[in-house]
Structure 1
Amino acid sequence: MDGSGIDYQAVFQALPAGIALLTPDLVYLDVNEAFLSMSGRTREQIIGRHLFDVFPDNPDDPAATGMRNLRASLERVVATGERDTMALQRYDVESADRPGVWQERYWSPVNVPVLAADGTVALLVHRVEEVTELIRVRGAHSDEDRARVLESELYTRGRELQAVNERLRRAHAREREVALHLQEAMLPTPGPLGHHRSAVRYLPATGALNVCGDWYDLVDLPGRTAVAVGDVVGHGLRAAGVMGQLRSALSAASRVAQGPAQALEGLGLYARSIDGAESATVVSVFIDWDGRTLTYSSAGHPPPALCAPDGAVAFLDQATDPPLGARPEHARRPQARTAFTDGSTLVLYTDGLVERRREDIDVGLERLAEALARHRTADPDALADALLADLVPPAGITDDTALVVLRL
Structure 2
Amino acid sequence: MNDSAIDYAAVFQALPGMVALLGPDLVYVDVNEEFLHGAGRKREQTVGHHLFEVFPDNPNDPAATGVRNLEASLRRVLATGERDAMALQRYDVQDPERPERWQERYWSPCNVPVFGPDGEVVLLVHRVEEVTELIRARGGRSTDRTQVLEAELYTRARELQELNERLRQAHAREREVALALQGAMLPARRQAADHRAAVRYRPAVGALNVCGDWYDLVDLVGGHRLGVSVGDVVGHGLAAAGVMGQLRSALSATSRVAAGPAQALDVLGRYAHVVDGAESTTAVTTFVDFDRHTITYSSAGHPPPVLMHPDGRVEFLDRATDPPLDACPDPVRRPQAATVFTDGATLVLYTDGLIERRREDIDTGLARLADSLTRHRSADPETLADAVLRELLPPGGATDDTALVIVRL
Verify same fold: TM over 0.5. yes
**CA shift for structure 1 position 160:** 2.1
Name 2:302's counterpart in structure 1. 301
**CA shift for structure 1 position 263:** 0.4
Given residue 166 of structure 1, which amino acid in structure 2 is its aligned partner?
A: E
Separation (CA, whole Å) in 2 of partners of 1:147 and 1:121:
43
Name 1:383's counterpart in structure 2. 384
Name 1:172's counterpart in structure 2. 171
1:247 aligns with 2:248: yes
**CA shift for structure 1 position 310:** 1.2
Separation (CA, whole Å) in 1 of partners of 2:193 and 2:28:
53
Name 2:157's counterpart in structure 1. 158
1:392 aligns with 2:340: no
Given residue 325 of structure 1, which amino acid in structure 2 is its aligned partner?
A: D
**CA shift for structure 1 position 113:** 2.9
**CA shift for structure 1 position 317:** 1.0
Native 8 Å contact 2:285 2:298 kept in 1: yes
Name 1:220's counterpart in structure 2. 219
Separation (CA, whole Å) in 2 of partners of 1:51 and 1:272:
57
1:133-189 Cα distance to aligned partner (Å, 9 max, x none): xx8xxxxxxxxx999888756543432221111111111111111111111111132
Separation (CA, whole Å) in 2 of partners of 1:195 and 1:402:
20
1:168-223 Cα distance to aligned partner (Å, 9 max, x none): 11111111111111111111324456853001111111233211400011111232
1:12-41 Cα distance to aligned partner (Å, 9 max, x none): xxxxxxxxxxxxxxx9xxxxxxxxxxxxxx
1:237-271 Cα distance to aligned partner (Å, 9 max, x none): 11111001000100111011111111000000000
1:284 aligns with 2:232: no
* Paired positions, count: 323
Q: 1:253 to 1:115 in 2, by over 3 A?
A: farther
Separation (CA, whole Å) in 2 of partners of 1:336 and 1:326:
21
Name 1:261's counterpart in structure 2. 262
Separation (CA, whole Å) in 2 of partners of 1:74 and 1:147:
36
Q: 1:49 to 1:291 in 2, by over 3 A?
A: farther
Q: 1:245 to 1:125 in 2, by over 3 A?
A: farther
State the percentage of identical aligned residues: 62
Separation (CA, whole Å) in 2 of partners of 1:120 and 1:193:
37
Name 2:196's counterpart in structure 1. 197
Name 2:43's counterpart in structure 1. none
Q: 1:87 to 1:396 in 2, by over 3 A?
A: closer
Name 2:272's counterpart in structure 1. 271
Name 2:328's counterpart in structure 1. 327
Name 1:112's counterpart in structure 2. 111
Q: 1:207 to 1:147 in 2, by over 3 A?
A: farther
Residues 354-363 or 146-155, more deviating:
146-155
* 2:159 counterpart SS class: helix
Structure 1 unmatched runs, 5+: 1-26, 28-47, 58-66, 89-107, 136-144
Separation (CA, whole Å) in 2 of partners of 1:174 and 1:193:
31
Q: 1:391 to 1:50 in 2, by over 3 A?
A: same
1:207 aligns with 2:206: yes
**CA shift for structure 1 position 110:** 3.0
Given residue 401 of structure 1, which amino acid in structure 2 is its aligned partner?
A: T
1:365-401 Cα distance to aligned partner (Å, 9 max, x none): 1111111111111111111111111111112111111
Name 1:5's counterpart in structure 2. none
Native 8 Å contact 2:286 2:298 kept in 1: yes
Separation (CA, whole Å) in 2 of partners of 1:192 and 1:330:
32
Separation (CA, whole Å) in 2 of partners of 1:68 and 1:227:
58
Given residue 263 of structure 2, which amino acid in structure 1 is its aligned partner?
A: Q
Name 2:94's counterpart in structure 1. none
Native 8 Å contact 1:114 1:125 kept in 2: no
Runs of 4+ residues deviating >6 angstroms: 48-53, 73-78, 84-88, 125-129, 145-151
Separation (CA, whole Å) in 2 of partners of 1:360 and 1:148:
55
* 2:111 counterpart SS class: strand
Name 1:70's counterpart in structure 2. 18
* 2:161 counterpart SS class: helix
Name 2:56's counterpart in structure 1. none
**CA shift for structure 1 position 312:** 1.2
1:255-289 Cα distance to aligned partner (Å, 9 max, x none): 11111111000000000000000001000011111
**CA shift for structure 1 position 78:** 7.3
1:271-323 Cα distance to aligned partner (Å, 9 max, x none): 00000000010000111111111111110111111111111111111111111
Separation (CA, whole Å) in 1 of partners of 2:89 and 2:383:
50
Residues 211-220 or 146-155, more deviating:
146-155
* 1:258 counterpart SS class: coil
Separation (CA, whole Å) in 2 of partners of 1:178 and 1:264:
29
Q: 1:323 to 1:146 in 2, by over 3 A?
A: farther
Native 8 Å contact 1:232 1:281 kept in 2: yes
Name 1:99's counterpart in structure 2. none
Native 8 Å contact 1:208 1:398 kept in 2: no
Separation (CA, whole Å) in 2 of partners of 1:162 and 1:318:
54
Q: 1:219 to 1:190 in 2, by over 3 A?
A: farther
For the aligned residue pairs, the C-alpha RMSD in angstroms reads 3.7
Native 8 Å contact 1:113 1:121 kept in 2: no
